[in-house]
Amino acid sequence: MVSDTATGATLREYLQSLLTSFFPNRSASKAWEKFHIVVRHLRWIFMAYIKIGNNSTLEVPSNPTIGYIEGDGIGPDISRASISVINASLEFAYGGDRSIEWVKVLAGEEALNKTGKHLPQESLDQLKKCVVSIKGPLTTPIGQGFRSLNVTLRQYFDLYANIRPVKYFPGVPSPVKNPEKMNMVIFRENTEDLYMGIEFKYDSPEAAKMREFLAANMDVKLTDDTGIGIKPISKFKSSRLVRKAIQFAIKNKRRNVTLVHKGNIMKYTEGAFKEWGYQVAANEFKDNTVTEEEYLKDPDNYRGKIVIKDRITDNMFQQVLTRTEDYDVIATTNLNGDYLSDALSAQVGGLGLAPGGNVGDAYAIFEAVHGTAPKYAGMDVANPTSLMLSGAMMLRHLEWDDAADVLENAILATYHDQKVTQDLARVMNIKPLKCSEFGQEIIKRMKPVKS
């Protein structure tokens, strides 16, 4: 069983358990247990799920059931704090008219202990039923044959866009002079590139076969000690990622979209990503976009249009430091996006504050971008901001922007008042708050939205 409501129980099963509980032939504690099952199943009857409508649009009820994976290590601490602030933001924004029915989904070490599997099928089924979920960090099991649980989730639900907004929070210590210039959103392709794990160890028979094939058919000669990795980049997957980035830019009135690639070296993968990106903009968003080349020739003529530009990855790493304010939405391949998103987060104070969402056409899982920080497990000292902000992203995904505004504004106010957890307190030389106390400080600073 995944959780209270993840049994996949049918109405018949519910009625059976109801009847059994009325005719107990058991001890008091067993009867109590039965009573709880009935209450849980009663709750199940009233649960409302998000539906996927035409064109993958979401039909969100006023009390949707949202799945949450607590996560390993610091996961339970930051999940508890995050759920309490998300609930409070809903109360402030909608005064009880909208709420979330949270359902816990087992994954990671807790799932292994209870079910013998890190990610049981019931958990995948439950996440599917919920459509939208949130997760704490999960330990990547060490040892051969294990795929990261995060990668598994992304591939299972085809969550092809890893979306990472990076913005500065005044009051947070940063390694750069003007961190406030940063306000970017990265769209990182999540399903292909070197992350598909097509790799052959240098001394494996597969690598030998590949080398022989390349020598015989492609005139490519590799020495016998060469390991091989394959980098697939497709037109379909590149195009849908860029499409999502441009749609976001239009919806959120952003200024430009930069295609980041290493196409000068990898022409038919990274270079093709850039070409396909420009094609999507020209073919599907002609009225809203203009290429940088056209724009620079006649800026006045193109005011208000989203400028589509591209940058080679190495240049982009220095541009984000030297010309931070020139960049806005970024669309890039998997490996580039991995490097770039952590580097950008560092510019505004580190991963502890960086939110993320893995989003497909319909399904979405929002997550903290840092790991399980095992040395702080169960100590109530971790910084929950990353997961809380991922919660705000989730609220926006549900189009519950008022609640997202309440939450983000309260987090901003908390940082402004220099109320921080130990990761930042030690740099700022001030007294740290516990993870749970930090959550309470955020709730204290929540204000209803102005209508």
* 417 catalytic per annotation: no
Is residue 167 helix, strand or coil?
strand
Q: Taking CB under 6 A as the rule, which mask of x and - marks residues 265-284 in contact with ligand NAP?
A: --------------------
Q: Which stretch binds ligand NAP (CB under 6 A): 31-39, 89-97, 136-144, 408-416?
A: 136-144
* 314 catalytic per annotation: yes
Residue 140 contacts ligand NAP per CB under 6 A = yes
Of the candidates 448, 435, 447, the one whose C-alpha atom is nearest the C-alpha of residue 84 is: 435
Q: Which stretch binds ligand NAP (CB under 6 A): 42-50, 228-236, 357-365, 369-377?
A: 369-377
What's 270's DSSP letter?
I
* 195 catalytic per annotation: yes
Centroid of chain to Cα 288: 27
From 314, 417, 431, 447, active-site residue: 314
Residue 352 contacts ligand NAP per CB under 6 A = yes
CA distance 37 to 17: 8
- The DSSP string of 40-98 is HHHHHHT-B--EE-GGG-EE--SSBEEEEE--STTHHHHHHHHHHHHHHHHHHHHTTSS
Q: Which stretch binds ligand NAP (CB under 6 A): 20-28, 303-311, 337-345, 364-372?
A: 364-372
Of the candidates 189, 171, 159, the one whose C-alpha atom is nearest the C-alpha of residue 259 is: 189
Q: Taking CB under 6 A as the rule, which mask of x and - marks residues 52-91 in contact with ligand NAP?
A: ----------------------x-----------------
The residue among 70 and 310 lying less far from ligand NAP, judged by its C-beta, is: 70
Q: Name the burial class of residue 431, with classes exposed (0-12), middle (13-18) and buried (19+) by CB atoms within 10 angstroms of its CB.
A: exposed
Question: Beta strand 306-312 with 289-291: parallel, antiparallel or unpaired?
Answer: parallel
- Footprint (CB under 6 A) of ligand NAP, residues 377-406: 382-383
Residue 367 contacts ligand NAP per CB under 6 A = yes
To the nearest 10°, report the CA torsion of 384, 390, 395, 396: 140
Q: Which stretch binds ligand NAP (CB under 6 A): 4-12, 216-224, 252-260, 371-379?
A: 371-379
Residue 370 contacts ligand NAP per CB under 6 A = yes
- Footprint (CB under 6 A) of ligand NAP, residues 200-259: none
CA distance 78 to 322: 34
- Of residues 50, 166, 182, 373, which one binds ligand NAP by CB under 6 A? 373
- CA-CA-CA-CA torsion sign (256, 262, 265, 271): negative
Helices (H), 131-204: 149-156
From 338, 402, 405, 423, active-site residue: 338
* 401 catalytic per annotation: no
- Contact positions toward ligand NAP, by CB under 6 A? 74, 137-140, 150, 351-352, 367, 370-373, 375, 382-383, 423
